[in-house]
Amino acid sequence: MTPRETTISTHLLLHYLLPFTLCLLQPPHHQPVHVPTLVPHAPTPLTRSRFSAEAQLDFTTRCNSSCFHRAEQEEQMTDKLAFETLYADGFRTLTTVEVEEDDGDDDALHPTHAPAWRRRRRLRRRMKRQIYGADGRFNIQGDDFLMDYPFSTAVRISTGCTGVLVSQQHVLTAAHCVHDGKDYVHGARKLRVGFLIPPSVNGTKAGLIPNKKPLVRWVRVKRTRVPKGWIQGPQEVSMDFDYALLELRWPHRRPFMRLSVAPSSDDLAGNRIHFSGFDSDRPGELVYRFCPVEEESSDLIYQHCDARPGASGSGVYGRVWDVGLERWERKVIGIFSGHQWLEIDGENRDYNVAVRITPLKFAQICYWVHGNRLDCRQD
């Protein structure tokens, strides 16, 4: 099967077969997720960034049972939900926050719906770094596919990563794409977001030029926000906060994908996650993949979706039940981070990892997008 035929098959699966399958699924039976209110304090000015860090596209961590099962205290969580704002001129501020609960409800800080560790199937032997068995990725090519939702929501980050459009002016990506935990990377000084433009849109008849690569339209970033949980924390802990939000200088005109608190994998249609990114081994190509969730904790989604460096920051989405619309909808439930070795019960387990959007992270990212508390609730 040619790459083009593979792409068409994938497109048909996504847009024709899945909707019919979803019609047969019953909505999940669970209590509505409570999203707390994040109350920010006045920003404190910081020294200008030195932009001294090197970009790290292949982010790998190790975690044992103690770090996996660690319990967060309320004080620790509010400290980690503080955030740093970087402006285009290098000026920085730190904003501390408080978490406001209704009627003394603290479920958001200690969520009862958080999935316990569970093993779904035997671990497959690792064949190649971040590729498990046969490569299951698909190149997305052609105007009809590159500009089609949800593929059109994937954007490039100038530091070498991927991002996902989550509003008319905001891009969600991985924190390690712009910050190494101690300082911002060189490329964050003039950070840009790249929008793919199919060749035919630029006056070129793509059909006459085999394998013609799409062009990229770059837009400067006005403001970058990174959670304090990522900054200056040990890697096995900070991976839980490996996300950042980029604000563009002006709005784009493309569809974007809405955010959702990540449900348990049992409440995802087909128990599958999906994401599209710009993997480094396929330069100039948008690469799509999907796979089942293997394991999950309160902060991370463990899976074997094939991925290579450059896919970091991709928006991980699934079909979740939208109560208001009464139908299954694609929503971003996590951010692809990288790779992790887990040492559990004396056994090394090998996974690709995505940061899950918890109620607190949803409240934080939503505040970053809207700039107020009133619009930040789970739809």
Instruction: Out of 134-138, 164-168, 303-307, 325-329, give the one with best mean pLDDT.
Output: 164-168
Q: Which among 272, 300, 299 has a CA at the least distance from the CA of 288? A: 272
Omega prior to 150 cis, within 30 of 0: yes
The per-residue pLDDT for 83 is: 97
Q: Is 171 part of a structural domain of the chain?
A: yes
Q: Which residue has the higher pLDDT, 329 or 212?
A: 329
**Mean pLDDT for the chain overall:** 82
Q: Which among 86, 21, 55 has a CA at the least distance from the CA of 224? A: 86
Q: Is 9 part of a structural domain of the chain?
A: no
Instruction: Work out the burial of residue 157: count CB atoms within 10 Å of its CB; fewer than 13 is exposed, 13-18 middle, 19 or more buried.
Output: buried
Judge contact between 131 and 273, C-beta under 8 A.
no
Alpha-carbon span 268 to 205, nearest angstrom: 40
Which residues share a beta bridge with 87?
Answer: 223
Q: Over range 270-281, report the average pLDDT.
A: 95
Alpha-carbon span 298 to 262, nearest angstrom: 10
Which residues share a beta bridge with 172?
Answer: 164, 245
Is 178 a residue whose pLDDT tops 90?
A: yes
Which residues share a beta bridge with 86?
Answer: 92, 224
Instruction: Out of 130-134, 164-168, 205-209, 279-283, give the one with best mean pLDDT.
Output: 164-168
The per-residue pLDDT for 97 is: 95
Is 147 a residue whose pLDDT tops 60?
A: yes
Structure tokens given for 18: 């899945």
Query: Containing H/E element for 243?
Result: none
Judge contact between 61 and 239, C-beta under 8 A.
yes
Q: The domain that contains 220 carries what CATH number? A: 2.40.10.10
pLDDT digits (tens, 9 = 90+) for 304-363: 999 999 999 999 999 999 888 889 999 999 999 999 888 877 788 889 999 999 999 999
The per-residue pLDDT for 18 is: 54
- Categorize the per-residue pLDDT at 133 as very low, low, confident or very high, splitting at 50, 70 and 90: low
Counted domains in the chain: 1
Alpha-carbon span 113 to 135, nearest angstrom: 34
Structure tokens given for 143: 């105007």
What is the bridge-based pairing of β-strands 154-157 and 192-197? antiparallel
Q: Over range 293-303, report the average pLDDT.
A: 92
pLDDT digits (tens, 9 = 90+) for 3-42: 554 544 554 455 444 554 555 566 776 667 788 889 999 9
Q: Is 281 part of a structural domain of the chain?
A: yes
Query: Containing H/E element for 65?
Result: helix 65-68
Q: Is 191 part of a structural domain of the chain?
A: yes
CB atoms within 10 A of CB 236: 16
| Residue 218, helix vs strand vs coil | strand
Alpha-carbon span 267 to 379, nearest angstrom: 16
Q: Is 73 part of a structural domain of the chain?
A: yes
226 lies in which domain range?
Answer: 40-97+134-377
Alpha-carbon span 114 to 107, nearest angstrom: 10
What is the bridge-based pairing of β-strands 60-64 and 327-344? parallel
Residue with tokens 């982010």: 59
Alpha-carbon span 46 to 90, nearest angstrom: 10
Alpha-carbon span 52 to 181, nearest angstrom: 11
Q: Which residue has the higher pLDDT, 210 or 254?
A: 254
Q: Is 14 part of a structural domain of the chain?
A: no
Q: Which residue has the higher pLDDT, 59 or 369?
A: 369
Residue 224 DSSP class: E
pLDDT digits (tens, 9 = 90+) for 116-126: 444 444 344 44
Q: Is 123 part of a structural domain of the chain?
A: no
The per-residue pLDDT for 122 is: 39
The per-residue pLDDT for 348 is: 85
Query: Containing H/E element for 21?
Result: helix 18-24
pLDDT digits (tens, 9 = 90+) for 215-263: 899 999 999 999 999 997 766 567 899 999 999 999 998 999 999 999 9
The per-residue pLDDT for 316 is: 98
Q: Is 315 part of a structural domain of the chain?
A: yes
Instruction: Out of 121-130, 160-169, 202-211, give the one with best mean pLDDT.
Output: 160-169
